[in-house]
Structure 1
Amino acid sequence: MTGYEVSRPLLDKIDAREQALTREAEQVRTLIDELAAKLRELDEAIDHLQITRKTLVSLAGEDDAEPDAPPPTLPGHPAYQQILTVFADLGRSLRTRDLCQAMDLPVENIENIRSKLKRLVSRGILDETEPGLFTQPRP
């Protein structure tokens, strides 16, 4: 025998530790494989979203109008049609007082007409370019 004799119990401990580390390394390799597969799935989903975004931006650039969007609906009261007729005839922006005068309405009707103008703005039929100044949107 040489000067160093290794005892059996020490070799058994080394073998047990080596086996435990081998099992742990295999578990980590399995986890790495699972995480790599998950990462590939996420990257693929990101790629699909980027392609979708590019396609949508491209399509929006080709046609800014929304063909599926319904046109704004005019409220049923005949005063709304009269208001739009005045705007069409004059072809310019109007304040509520000017509109009342153009429609031959008394000054007492200003608030009633203003609320109708605001309703037309909320429906996208008219624009309020500055507070109290209304106009028809350009096509």
Structure 2
Amino acid sequence: MVSWREELSRREAAAGDQVAQLREQIAKLTEELTEAEQLLSRLTITRETMAEILTEADESTGSDGPDDPAENTNSEQSQMVSGSRSPVGLMLVPQREPGMDAAAVLPEDYCDILVVFAEAGHGLRAGQVAAEVGIATTDRSKVEGLRSKLKRLVARGWLDQEPSGVFTITNNAGVVGD
């Protein structure tokens, strides 16, 4: 039979171990909480900075959009700033309309893509376009980035995409060199 002193010592040791484990958990959770608070702070600062940038972009383009940058997304993104690179929140690739000149409204890299299609005269896959514009076809991330640009051109009416993944130039797309 175990004496009461031995049992008390055993229980004290077990309680001491539990206290030590709980203190370790508290320290770990405190560290995690600090990291999460820092992340939240950085994100809040980023949101405030982006709101300032969008407000300045509104003022420089003369937009009378809503004061809340979160409400600016649809109206601002559907506008094109002619003759300049887009500030954050504005659309770089406008919806194609009949008679639009690609060179006048599209950024240079998008114009280069359309020239490749105009010169080819037939449909191309993203990897083929990448090779023509000087992107290494072995760099999958850059080819996928180009594919995103091609899909953006499709969404805005500058290119067509076949179900097989072949892209073709839309008739009368206003490409320089047509």
Q: TM-score, normalised by structure 1?
A: 0.46
TM-score by length of 2: 0.37
Max radius of gyration: which structure? 1
